[in-house]
Amino acid sequence: MEAKRTIFFVSESTTIAAETLGHSLLVHFEHIKFDPVTVPFVDTVEKANETAAQINADARDKEFPPIIFSTLLEKEVRTVIMKSEGIVFDIYDAFMDRIEDALHMRSTSGISRAHGLLDDSMYNIRIDAVNYALRNDDGISTKDYDKADVILIGVSRTGKTPTCLYLGLQFGIYAANYPLTEEDLYIEYKKVPGVLQPYRDKLFGLTINPERLQKIRSERMPDSRYSSFVQCQRELAMAEYLFVSKNIPFLNITSMSVEEIAATIMHKSRLPRRAL
């Protein structure tokens, strides 16, 4: 059996940026198996030495040296990792000099901001936006739609809830969602549901392929009318007809990740990023 290649994600703060970098590269090497190790909060030379020892031990044990993705701003700390026996890809090492040149400025010394001393308002807006998404999930309340940046609509199990939460957590966007029920779709045939009428400009539709919807619904309620293919197909057709005929922007999410759905909605609806 082929040995897995060890991948270290190292940072003085969280390893999220290092992981994002690593994954955007490694995803293009489908045939290699990786063994990921995350080492956050490496913010002293001492901790860097410990991490380098761990890297070197891996390099000695395996046929190929480990690969390191890192975001280490402090040069002393970074140097320890760069001198290890791993193959190091560091964002600051690769880009910091060039960006200082481009900006005609040295970076602010210290790593305080990378350590998360966010300003209160940015933190608050994300938490507030998540709480908004929770209060306005699945049509449970429609009275705060005035405050919504966007209102996602779609039949049951088209990814509305996770997308709203992600929009709140990642971008500080106030996203409500409203499920299109059979009543909305059949009885009020071809009409935008009354409660949504005043917010036509905020609506964004989500749809999915019927095969996929059937699979998702079957996990929740197997062998039910709700999860039958015919039912899924009918609801989706009615919902899509509504989107098209009422000129509501919409998206088929069948093979999209939550990030991609959220980014696409941001783009198509020209929503402002309130936080990142």
Q: How far is the CB of 244 from a second copy (least distance, A)?
A: 21
For residue 74, the minimal CB distance to a second copy (Å) is 11
Task: Give the whole-angstrom CA distance, residue 156 versus residue 85.
Answer: 52
Residue 201's alpha-carbon distances to 184, 198, 242, in angstroms, are: 19, 8, 15
H helix or E strand, kind and range, residue 8: strand 5-11
CB nearer a second copy, residue 18 or residue 203:
18
Which is nearer to a second copy, 80 or 208 (by Cβ)?
Answer: 208
Q: Closest separation between CB of residue 192 and a second copy, Å? A: 27
Please give the sequence-ordered ranges of beta strands (E in DSSP) within 126-185, or none if there are none. 150-154, 175-179
Instruction: Give the Cα separation of 122 and 148 in Å (integer).
Output: 18
Sign of CA dihedral 153, 154, 155, 157: negative
Per this entry, what is the length of the chain? 276
Q: Which is nearer to a second copy, 132 or 243 (CB)?
A: 132
**Least distance in Å: CB of 10 to a second copy?**
12
Q: Which is nearer to a second copy, 45 or 275 (CB)?
A: 275
When the beta carbons of 116 and 222 are compared against a second copy, the nearer one is 116
Distances (CA, A) of 8 to 46, 69, 92, 119: 17, 6, 16, 30
CB of 198 to a second copy, least distance (A): 27
d(CA 136, CA 199): 14
